[in-house]
Structure 1
Amino acid sequence: MKKVIYSILICLGMVVLSSCEDTSADISKVTYFASLELKGETAMKIKLNDTYVEPGFVALEGDEDITSKVEISGVVNSAKSDIYTLTYSVANVDGFSVSEQRNVLVAAPAFASAYYGESKVGVRHYVNAPIHIVDNNDGTYSIDDIMGGFQFHGLNAGLEPAYDLHAEAIIKLEADNSISLVSLGSWAPELGLTLGLNSGSYDPVTGVIELDVKYGSTNQLLVTLTK
């Protein structure tokens, strides 16, 4: 009787082992996730009415080149000063996708233009924030963030639209190319920060704007806008 039971257990073990081997063979598979690398800069600049030339990109799935499968969404309208975002995406054979972005600034020769903002407060330093200055046609200009992107692009990136982190302002370009603050719009009152403008200047040759912004009670926020 013992021999019979022992023989049955051996047979059951062989069946289970065979079943496990078959199952493993069915689900064993290697997945290579796609990789995507942009050539050139991810924050580019071109002049108004110049032609945008795509720097290129490379996509791989393991050792296989899948660059031809990359899709690009977004367009650059070089006839209008703005910052345009191009999104590059590609998926592997299993549908897992990866994406990268490139910003292209179309710069106008006038003071009113799109800019990249650089902001510094102490050890905090952020670059390539999209900033826009619009001519109000009354001697003043609207800037969509006098902080140069310090809050919405750097310190608290991703918190909009829940919080209004753009500090809109009306500014004036004086005859000597200094910049004065006319008025400041409302923004994120929950932060309890007082803003102002200590000084500002515009270099018409380089197109660079320098702003010394009063940020809070003691901090100095240095902003540089380039196009």
Structure 2
Amino acid sequence: MSATGPVLRGLTAVPSLPDQRDVPNGATASPAPDELLRRIALGDERAFEMLYDSFAGRVFGLARRIVRNPSQAEEVAQEVFLEIWRRASRFDAARGSATSWVMTLTHARSVDRVRSAQASADRELKVAYASHEVEIDSVVEAVESSFERKAVQKCLTTLTDLQRESITLAYYSGYTYREVAELLTTPLPTIKTRLRDGMIRLRDCLGVEA
């Protein structure tokens, strides 16, 4: 079977958005996302289906909040899962969680879609973040408007794992501070502290004036 086979079959479920939280009686729990990505990298179609079941709702939801158009959000979701199937081998658990990796891919694809339709950089940022209830400070605005993505990614590697994951989820994947704390099973005050310290280190690395 071709590499796109399981992807195309699975993605037909995107428009209907079934409730992924409902687990039939007697069903076994899905392996951790990290393990599923490892299996997908080896061509495991069942692992891909399980990952899709776990993330379809979240991927579509984030894409829709950013691109604002349901049809385009469906297309973005398809692109994301196709990319996961093709690039699962590039996932590195040492650099962050599977959830962070998947949602970062979703954010990047969604913003790319917005950029293809909007010529103004200011408009891009407004569309990408208008519906997010996230505290975006002047450092994030300066980073987004003044530096290329590669420079930001390079500086992210200088942060601690918790700082990097917290910033990725809060500022690039659209989660609130409280949601980040829940995803990383870390107290909210600790998340806020790591975000503040991480943004200071990012600012210094990128040379952004306070």
Instruction: Confirm or deny a common fold (TM above 0.5).
Output: no
- In terms of fraction of residues, the more strand-rich structure is 1
- In terms of fraction of residues, the more helix-rich structure is 2
Scaled to the shorter chain, the TM-score interval is under 0.3
Larger Rg: 1
